[in-house]
A = this chain, B = another copy of it.
Amino acid sequence: MIPRYSRPALQRIWSAEHRYASWLRVELAACEAMEEAGIVPAGTAASIAPRVKLRPGRIEEIEETTRHDVIAFLTHVEEQAGPPARWLHRGMTSSDVLDTAFALQLTEAVDEILRGIDALCSALRERAIEHRGTAIIGRTHGIHAEPTSLGLVFAGLYAALGRDRARLALARTGIAYGKISGAVGTFAHLDPAIERGALRRLGLEPEPVATQVVPRDRHAQLLCVLALTAASIERFALTVRHWQRTEVLEAEEPFEKGQKGSSAMPHKRNPILSENLCGLARIVRAAVAPALEDVALWHERDISHSSVERMIAPDATATLDFMLARACKLAQGLVVYPENIQRNLELTGGLVFSEGVLLALVDAGIGRQEAYVMVQRNAMRAWAGEGGFQELLEKDQEVIGALGAEKLRRCFDLGLALRHVDAILERVLSPEEA
């Protein structure tokens, strides 16, 4: 997580301040649950809370001596809250606090990301509706294929992000688990009722079978979903980069007012937002492998996962959150050039309709091989620059004889080619699903 690629909201979630504050929330929730169970004097948590003003610097100072972060934290709390603080952490192990607080931070980060997906989806949906009628050449292998609708391209990205949203909502549920069950998860010095009470206060579920820690497959699942979401954004960004190529120029990234290109050349507007998004997708993706390697810990836990998570949890969530905000801005501000889209659509002189001609000839009773030859000879001539494809076909007696002028014309009817676009859009943009 570097400032350049993280929004303040995520920086806050992963700050030392918030980390310690989350620990305190867990300790106080557990304390209240113990009060409820009659193990700790009523009012303990209520008396501690107002007295504590966490100072990370002081905690780290104490840690220099204790070499144990949770003990340093508790010492600091006791410094401020006095005797009642001794009731905190009773029968608990450090991981009870750390893992439960980690779940709080992760769900907060995921909530930001969900908001980011929603905003991006909303922008993509709008562009899909705006451009449902914009015919654009469909490309496979980078080569012109058949016409499609620009709205459909946005709708496809919208649908992908929608799938990511659903996955992320599930991963959020999966990560919203805490534990207050002691050193090896057996409640040796605790009671399951206390765990229930504490976690209910925090909006978390109790881990059914904890070891010393919450099992790490939950976290690995989340990292996988973050990488999947990043890949969808990469798909969008890659599309923009292709659109903005000098020879294509069907769309361009938004430019700030007064922003100069990198030189005297006015055409030199680089798709730097999209390129940046492609790079950042690699970063989020790279967090999956270590997260998966963290799952198989030794026995009731080893601590190898800890250093990994200190780095990848902030990195992957903050980077994806940043990507979403940037992608949203990109989707909203993307400048579309309809005239260039039209120019490219016509670049091959109607050759992109050749499959329709072929099928029409077959429907008209011509053998497939024969029809292929008829189409091919005209396509070759068009490609060689001897005339437009449609025009050449109109002059081809065999073709015109088989199809007639009207049927041939219909093969080149863009509206006909795109007649099902609205139906497709309805499949994804219906209010229920949006």
Residue in chain B with minimal CB distance to A190: B420
Q: Answer whether residue A418 sits at the interface, using C-beta atoms and an 8 A cutoff.
A: yes
Q: Answer whether residue A231 sits at the interface, using C-beta atoms and an 8 A cutoff.
A: yes
Please judge, given known A-B contacts A144-B267, A183-B355, whether A311 and B315 are in contact too, CB under 8 Å: yes
Contact: A295 with B359, CB < 8 Å? no
Residue in chain B with minimal CB distance to A247: B247
Please judge, given known A-B contacts A281-B296, A308-B282, whether A427 and B209 are in contact too, CB under 8 Å: yes
Using Cβ atoms and an 8 Å threshold, which residues of chain B touch A267?
143-144, 348, 351, 383
Q: Smallest CB–CB gap between A136 and chain B, Å?
A: 10
- Overall SS of chain A's interface: helix
10 A-B pairs with CB atoms under 8 Å apart are A94-B262, A141-B275, A152-B185, A186-B420, A187-B419, A188-B356, A188-B418, A264-B376, A276-B303, A285-B290
Contact: A306 with B289, CB < 8 Å? no
Q: Answer whether residue A324 sits at the interface, using C-beta atoms and an 8 A cutoff.
A: no
Q: Answer whether residue A417 sits at the interface, using C-beta atoms and an 8 A cutoff.
A: yes
Residue in chain B with minimal CB distance to A191: B420
Give the interface size bracket for A toward B: 35 or more
Interface string of A235-274 (1 = CB under 8 A from B): 1011101101111100000001001101111111111100
Please provide the chain A residues from 299 to 353 with a CB less than 8 Å away from any CB of chain B in the complex: 299-308, 310-312, 315, 319, 344, 347-348, 351-352
Using Cβ atoms and an 8 Å threshold, which residues of chain B touch A33?
none
Q: Answer whether residue A221 sits at the interface, using C-beta atoms and an 8 A cutoff.
A: yes
Contact: A303 with B270, CB < 8 Å? yes
Which residues of A line the B interface, CB within 8 A?
Answer: 2, 4-5, 66-68, 86, 90-91, 94, 137-149, 152, 155-156, 158-160, 163-164, 167, 170, 174, 182-189, 191-192, 206, 208-212, 215, 217-218, 220-221, 224-225, 227-228, 231-232, 234-235, 237-239, 241-242, 244-248, 256, 259-260, 262-272, 275-276, 278-283, 285-290, 292-308, 310-312, 315, 319, 344, 347-348, 351-352, 354-359, 368, 372, 375-376, 379-380, 383, 417-421, 423-424, 427-428
